[in-house]
Chains A and B, each alone.
Chain A
Amino acid sequence: MKNYLFPTRFKKISGWIFYLTTMIGAVVYISDINMEDLLVMKVPALINDPIFTKQKGIWIENGILDELITVVLILSGIIHSFSKEKMEDEYISSIRLQALTWSIYVNYGLVLLATLLIFGMAYFHVMIIHLFSLIILFNLRFQYKLRAYYKISSDEE
């Protein structure tokens, strides 16, 4: 049966990139750094809302740090989450599925809470965090469960 997983060799490197980018992204987002002033270059804009920029046309000047962090975090997160373990078997697939189910429940539970309790510009931050929260929650849960799986002690009898 096809499982749509990446080869094991991607697991470690994507993990490093994912956790490192998550930390960098969190620091940059929390700090007062204006991301639009960093790594400025001309980029193609299919749709460009005038709320954030007055530039018009297909090509606009834009600081690409936020786009870079978003792309790297999502790609590395997906590859890390869905790379095969060294011994990928049906039990690990079942752990992965359970972690995915758990993270969807928790993620959307938090979104529901935020929707009911957070208003105004603060909700914009909720939406930004929500872009990455599912993949982060899933990764944390899956790694936690995998750790327990590998810790199963030898009880040969």
Chain B
Amino acid sequence: MKNRIKILRAELSISQDYLAQQLGVSRQTIHAIENNKYSPSLSLGMSIAKLFNKTVEEVFQMEEETEKEK
């Protein structure tokens, strides 16, 4: 699963640390999600989307969808 967290974070100029604090997870977890090393749970995924004021689909995309779009 791909995600746009790094881009969204850059748009708002917020750090991994800040995002982690807001979500109640560690910075390492945000790092792992951004680099597709870890797929977050549904509730964490929804919390991330809510924090960026986006829908889950706008933040996370399945690999196949990303490939099709290319």
CB atoms of B24 and A89 under 8 A apart: yes
CB atoms of B26 and A87 under 8 A apart: yes
CB atoms of B16 and A91 under 8 A apart: no
Is the C-beta of B6 less than 8 angstroms from some C-beta in chain A?
yes
Band of interface residues on A: 10 to 19
CB atoms of A91 and B6 under 8 A apart: no
CB atoms of A89 and B31 under 8 A apart: no
**Smallest beta-carbon distance B23→chain A, Å:** 9
Is the C-beta of A52 less than 8 angstroms from some C-beta in chain B?
no
Interface segment out of the listed B37-45, B49-57, B59-67: B37-45
CB atoms of A91 and B10 under 8 A apart: no
Given A152-B31, A157-B10: A89 touches B25 (CB 8 Å cut-off): yes
Given A94-B38, A156-B16: A87 touches B25 (CB 8 Å cut-off): yes
Is the C-beta of B36 less than 8 angstroms from some C-beta in chain A?
no
Determine the residue in chain B with the shortest Cβ distance to A155: B31
Is the C-beta of A150 less than 8 angstroms from some C-beta in chain B?
yes
Interface centre among B25, B28, B29, B32 (most CB of A within 10 A): B28
Which residues of B approach A to under 8 Å, CB–CB? Answer: 6, 10, 15-16, 24-29, 31-33, 38, 40-41, 44
- Top 7 A-B pairs ranked by shortest CB distance? A91-B29, A89-B25, A87-B26, A152-B28, A152-B31, A91-B38, A89-B29
- 26 A-B pairs within 8 Å (CB atoms) are namely A89-B24, A89-B26, A89-B29, A90-B25, A90-B29, A90-B40, A90-B44, A91-B25, A91-B26, A91-B29, A91-B32, A91-B33, A91-B38, A92-B26, A92-B29, A94-B38, A149-B28, A150-B28, A152-B28, A152-B31, A152-B32, A154-B16, A154-B27, A155-B31, A156-B16, A157-B10
